[in-house]
Amino acid sequence: MDEDKALYPPVDPFKAGALGCCPRCGQGKLFDGLLKVRPSCTNCGLDYSFADSGDGPVVFVILIVGFIVVGAALWTEVNINPPLWVHFSLWIPLVIVLGLAVTRILKGLLIALQYRNHARPGEIDRG
């Protein structure tokens, strides 16, 4: 990460994260599949070994998707009062689809912000 960054124009971390693009060049792909991070950028060769979003995206996904789905389920129950099988057929697939989509976006965003802010594991200063 100490290379000359003058070769690459500044990349908006929010756009790069949402689109799943490389945080340095904005062109290469960040993901290999749905949520697995590639070993390196296909365009500029940036090593993604620094990228460790951990459980951060999942916490936000639980809060965001939970708020949306529970609110919609409660509204549906109060106003329409459908049978239980309708709730299951509506909300379980919605939770799965929204959860995966939002997890991919937030994981890309957190990795792009890690790159932009030069984040690294904490170190104890004993000096």
pLDDT of 60-113, one tens digit each?
A: 999 999 999 999 999 999 999 999 999 999 999 999 999 999 999 999 999 999
Beta carbons of 68 and 98 less than 8 angstroms apart: yes
Residues 6+ positions from 29 with CB-CB distance below 8 Å: 20, 21, 22, 38, 41, 42
pTM, two decimal places: 0.85
Q: Over the stretch 19-43, which tens digit does the pLDDT of each residue have?
A: 999 999 999 999 999 999 999 999 9
The residues spanned by each domain of the chain are 5-116
